[in-house]
Structure 1
């Protein structure tokens, strides 16, 4: 919303000054700045169903953002202080409880093809909430447990987040297709919510871990899934049998529907407009191996590292979450109109360069130039998070634009599965790299080697940017014949039951 001020060229009256109108102008600008985000949300709620916006806040903000960040800190301290495992093994464990994200296509197929009592979305929100609530409660209340049992509970918490995200992402993908001009805005809203939730989670995680201990604090992660159960009851959804006056779908018919969807997905993935950018997104994640656990152990080591406290580790991650919000704002305000290839190339370049700052910190060169550890780590975390978010935002928008209308939930889940496999390779690759250079709980001599190799791989990703299309972020990427076929190829494909776009908007599209 732009502010409008009245200008008067006449000379001011006696005993007055030119700057007397300035406070009014400043107040108008400040008011406009404050109200602009609310007007933006109101505009989204007007064009889309308000319960869908609520779902984004709860799933991306509370469960993915808050729970994911809190879970990350509490889990790191749990494995380090309670289970006393090596960082390379913890990195492998992190990959294991990331596996539910690899099964996103399965969750997507379930939500699209297997409605429960006529509902496609509500039961899966409820089921995801139950899994997360039970897993988080067991982690906090069971006391001493074997590492395998704890790992199973961590997998349960991760599965809860993955299923809930797939369910809401199916709705996001459909809205992005129906109203393409809102695709960047929807991804901005999701990232705003997740980044703000992560900020709150990281800020509070150090306090809870310090006061309740690593295991007791894990009970906090059971709260957001409980609210996801509530979302399953309140989100607006019409039953498929009531909407179409059809008999209840048999299991055999559902299986046949799955077969149809799989064939459409396979045919869609064979198109160069789809598999090329999908391949780039996969490579950009897989080649960016993570050495997070090595960094975490080094952060908290009193001899080799800077010996940061629990509270300050939470502050570091909180600053990173705030930097992610800045990255989203930069993208939303200035970058969402740039072509995919141009934006992704420069974003990847900046992301690779930010990793060099990380290398300087590991080698302690910051102390040689007089920058204290607690200041330099804030600089390093901020640069990495801002560039990482700017790099990831257009790839999310790109993924939504690759989804055929009618199977958008399943296909978006497939694309996110490909991304998750890339992330899994990144985590396990980082664990193997830490093990290969002999980084342990007490020996960090070669940690810089692992970081150096990681940075080289980030720069190497630039060689594959040619796979990304040159089109703008609001343009359709799928061939018209493919989109038309997907909608009509199966009688059940177009049965999207969640009313997320008002009829007048659908007609305009």
Structure 2
């Protein structure tokens, strides 16, 4: 027994040591502060705050606003409008530096927007649904702007060192998964003791850290011809012409890059695979918590369910990182999508309560169902994120990656709206869940139908260059790339410029 226990401890220490060595490798090849920036945006922002926002907002719409699940499903889709505008945020960070800095000011803007929006919905007790929705969209916009800013750095690092592309996506996945785990575990406790609005007030803490990040991060000034330097020798008219020309150049480069088949085909697949994967989450959530028709899970246990999903997402990232990052894109996406469709059948079994027929309790079966869905979903999407970074040309990497993520957000928005329309057509309400199983069945059929579109994904490996070499050369001639553009923390006693 002691030898077995000692072996398990050595194995656990070995895994921890391996993880630390991996982070150390990334820190050496990039910079420690780059890794820290990913942790703050993905771990604290999208992970912790995103999970807390998801649970608190669900209970807010259900218990405070008392809306129908189909209406909430349509409202939630509107959260993705700021993510559809990611190309705009990308153009701003690429083409409109502030005093020579491309990234720092946008962290500050993102933090201010998120903090104000979260505070407003928390402090206003009689907020109309439309005003509450506007605040939630503001929170979403804060996350989107911060995401674009850090993604531009990730995309550029992936282009300059293609061997790091899968590692960087794994780092993002680990950070967001770990943050989501903590957020989901705490969300049920916060909702139970503080209420939905009090929990939403905690959302202001993460944007506050983003504001601090914008002030303490040091970013080398770009070597481009900045607008501020033109003030002494150019008129305002000429400056505006330079701005228009720069934006037009970025748009032309995006159009040219998107015209290549190796770019528009996988982009089309990402859009269709997300749009056809209709989401009926709000119907599930109302059914989860219903004391008559559903299993009547408590607020704390709902948070635990989502926390288990976060752990499963981490496992999915680990499986991808350890075993799947060397497989060709098309093969990996096909089998991952197939498993994702199979995992959806567990959801259907749960809604029909067949798990009780075979003697599996609700509390145990929901763990199986959530874990299978999250693991396969993460494995399904990790290679597509790597592919997205490989499609970005140098010079407009922030703008083009934002465009690809905008395509993803459009697919998610259509998925949410499709799910809301499906719930409404099947008359799934706050108290009537008789047709919820049919909605789940239709969703699962669409997941299997997506397999017919995998031919749009390239057969190449995940380390191979996809874009023609002339694309990057043309973009770099339009805009000289500063290879020393990195993120570093300013020492406490150092000078901070804004």
Matched-pair contact (CA < 8 Å) for 1:324–1:389: yes
Classify 1:327/1:177 alpha carbon distance in 2 versus 1 (closer, same or farther; 3 Å). same
Structure-to-structure mapping, 1:88-103, within 5 angstroms:
88-103=70-85
Distance between the aligned counterparts of 2:174 and 2:3, measured in 1?
35
C-alpha offsets along residues 137-174 of structure 1, whole Å, 9 cap, x if unaligned?
11111221111111111011000000000000000000
Classify 1:493/1:416 alpha carbon distance in 2 versus 1 (closer, same or farther; 3 Å). farther
- 1:392 alignment partner in structure 2: 381
Distance between the aligned counterparts of 1:31 and 1:435, measured in 2?
51
- 1:494 alignment partner in structure 2: 481
Matched-pair contact (CA < 8 Å) for 1:406–1:496: no
Distance between the aligned counterparts of 2:44 and 2:249, measured in 1?
35
Distance between the aligned counterparts of 1:493 and 1:168, measured in 2?
20
- 1:228 alignment partner in structure 2: 210
Structure-to-structure mapping, 1:17-36, within 5 angstroms:
29-36=11-18
| Equivalent in 153, 170, 183 of residue 201 of structure 1 | 183
Matched-pair contact (CA < 8 Å) for 1:118–1:240: yes
- 2:198 alignment partner in structure 1: 216
- 1:113 alignment partner in structure 2: 95
Classify 1:24/1:325 alpha carbon distance in 2 versus 1 (closer, same or farther; 3 Å). closer
- 2:65 alignment partner in structure 1: 83
Q: Is 1:350 aligned to 2:339, yes or no?
A: yes
Structure-to-structure mapping, 1:337-486, within 5 angstroms:
337-486=326-475
CA RMSD of aligned residues (A): 2.0
Q: Is 1:156 aligned to 2:126, yes or no?
A: no
Q: Tell me the SS of whatever aligns to 1:236.
A: strand
Say how many residue pairs are matched.
Answer: 481
Residue range with higher mean Cα deviation, 141-150 or 70-79: 141-150
Classify 1:366/1:266 alpha carbon distance in 2 versus 1 (closer, same or farther; 3 Å). same
Distance between the aligned counterparts of 1:432 and 1:349, measured in 2?
25
Classify 1:46/1:442 alpha carbon distance in 2 versus 1 (closer, same or farther; 3 Å). same
Classify 1:47/1:296 alpha carbon distance in 2 versus 1 (closer, same or farther; 3 Å). same
Classify 1:105/1:447 alpha carbon distance in 2 versus 1 (closer, same or farther; 3 Å). same
- 1:267 alignment partner in structure 2: 256
C-alpha offsets along residues 119-140 of structure 1, whole Å, 9 cap, x if unaligned?
1100000000000011111111
- 2:494 alignment partner in structure 1: none
Matched-pair contact (CA < 8 Å) for 2:224–2:480: no
Matched-pair contact (CA < 8 Å) for 1:209–1:217: yes
Classify 1:148/1:245 alpha carbon distance in 2 versus 1 (closer, same or farther; 3 Å). closer
Kindly state the Cα deviation for residue 381 of structure 1 after the two structures are TM-superposed: 0.3
Q: Tell me the SS of whatever aligns to 1:70.
A: helix
Matched-pair contact (CA < 8 Å) for 2:328–2:462: yes
What is the TM-score with the length of structure 2 in the denominator? 0.93
Matched-pair contact (CA < 8 Å) for 1:120–1:497: no
- 2:33 alignment partner in structure 1: 51
Distance between the aligned counterparts of 1:24 and 1:310, measured in 2?
38
- 2:165 alignment partner in structure 1: 183
- 1:323 alignment partner in structure 2: 312
Structure-to-structure mapping, 1:53-68, within 5 angstroms:
53-68=35-50
| Unpaired stretches in structure 1, ≥5 consecutive residues | 1-18, 502-509
- 1:16 alignment partner in structure 2: none
- 1:12 alignment partner in structure 2: none
Distance between the aligned counterparts of 1:128 and 1:62, measured in 2?
14
| Unpaired stretches in structure 2, ≥5 consecutive residues | 232-238, 489-498
Distance between the aligned counterparts of 2:487 and 2:157, measured in 1?
7
Classify 1:371/1:28 alpha carbon distance in 2 versus 1 (closer, same or farther; 3 Å). closer
Classify 1:247/1:144 alpha carbon distance in 2 versus 1 (closer, same or farther; 3 Å). same
Distance between the aligned counterparts of 2:11 and 2:364, measured in 1?
33
What is the TM-score with the length of structure 1 in the denominator? 0.91
| Equivalent in 26, 44, 55 of residue 73 of structure 1 | 55
Q: Tell me the SS of whatever aligns to 1:247.
A: helix
Distance between the aligned counterparts of 2:212 and 2:181, measured in 1?
24
Bigger-Rg structure (1/2):
1
- 1:278 alignment partner in structure 2: 267
Q: Is 1:171 aligned to 2:160, yes or no?
A: no
Kindly state the Cα deviation for residue 29 of structure 1 after the two structures are TM-superposed: 4.7
- 1:10 alignment partner in structure 2: none
